[in-house]
Amino acid sequence: MTDRALTATAHGPLDELAHDERGGISNPILGMLLFITSEVMFFAGLFAAYFASRAAIAPWPPTEFEHTLEPLGIVFPATVLLVISSVTCQIGVNAIRRDDRSGFIRAIGITLVLGIVFLVIQIYDYGLLYSHGLTLASGPYGTTYYTLTGFHGAHVFGGVIMLAVVLYRGMAGQFSARHHDAVEGTSIYWHFVDVVWIGLYLTLYWLR
């Protein structure tokens, strides 16, 4: 990448992203934003299937699963951890923007650990739900629940891989205040995954 590709601009809400000297956004971030746009519609399809099923089936949740999904159960601390991980991810991005490499590595490392912990909690939660009889075969309720949370979990797993790569490259000294498009892109993706989870959590656990 040439120096020309990452000249900061002076004003406006887009200035924290990398731009070329004419003001155009950098290709990696442009690609990530387009990818996330497609992901919005992907999850929209899943949410649409959920709401359509929910509207067509009464009662919802089915009587036998009325108290299976507890909003303040183990999923609550998992949600808090994921929100905190978004904060630490942004702290890492801000650190590399200031060329603070040790702060960047520390924050991204914490984010990575929080992401892994979230996945472990989700797997544990799946075990609990299976023991309560909620499986993929439990009708539309079980199918939509596991499809929505499963695809989200797959995205978190993808984000964890991206964070691990960013952390490795950061420890190898490949990022600086001028060259860190991969960090910005990964951060945008991680925030997206976090926002989707908040939507899922509110829809699946709180919406009665």
Partner 1 sequence: MRMSHVRNAVAIGILFVVIAFIYWAVPYFGGWHLDYAGVTMLAALGIAMALMAYVLVAGSPRE
Within 10 angstroms of residue 52's Cβ, the number of other Cβ atoms is 12
Q: Which stretch binds partner 1 (CB under 8 A): 23-31, 65-73, 80-88, 108-116?
A: 23-31
Rule CB under 8 A: is residue 173 a binding residue for partner 1? no
Q: Considering the complex, state which of residue 37 and residue 174 has its C-beta at the smaller distance from partner 1.
A: 37
| Maximum distance among all Cα pairs of the chain, rounded to whole angstroms | 62
Rule CB under 8 A: is residue 34 a binding residue for partner 1? yes
Q: How far apart are CA 166 and CA 79, in angstroms?
A: 23
Residues in 50-79 that interact with partner 1 by CB under 8 A: 51-52, 54-55
Phi-psi region of 177 (alpha: psi -120 to 50; beta: other; left: phi over 0): alpha
Q: Which stretch binds partner 1 (CB under 8 A): 40-48, 66-74, 83-91, 176-184?
A: 40-48
Within 10 angstroms of residue 103's Cβ, the number of other Cβ atoms is 15
Q: What residue has token string 């797997």?
A: 123
CB 92 within 8 A of CB 103: yes
Q: Which stretch binds partner 1 (CB under 8 A): 34-42, 71-79, 127-135, 155-163?
A: 34-42
Rule CB under 8 A: is residue 171 a binding residue for partner 1? no
CB 163 within 8 A of CB 186: yes
Rule CB under 8 A: is residue 17 a binding residue for partner 1? yes
Q: Considering the complex, state which of residue 12 and residue 173 has its C-beta at the smaller distance from partner 1.
A: 12
Rule CB under 8 A: is residue 1 a binding residue for partner 1? no
The single residue among 1, 7, 16, 40 that binds partner 1, judged by CB under 8 A, is 40
Both structure tokens of 184:
């910005």
Q: What residue has token string 């950061």?
A: 170
Rule CB under 8 A: is residue 24 a binding residue for partner 1? yes
Closest distance of CB 53 from partner 1, Å = 9
Q: What residue has token string 């709180």?
A: 206
CB 194 within 8 A of CB 86: yes
Binding site for partner 1 (CB under 8 A): 9, 12-14, 17, 22-25, 30, 33-34, 36-38, 40-41, 43-45, 47-49, 51-52, 54-55
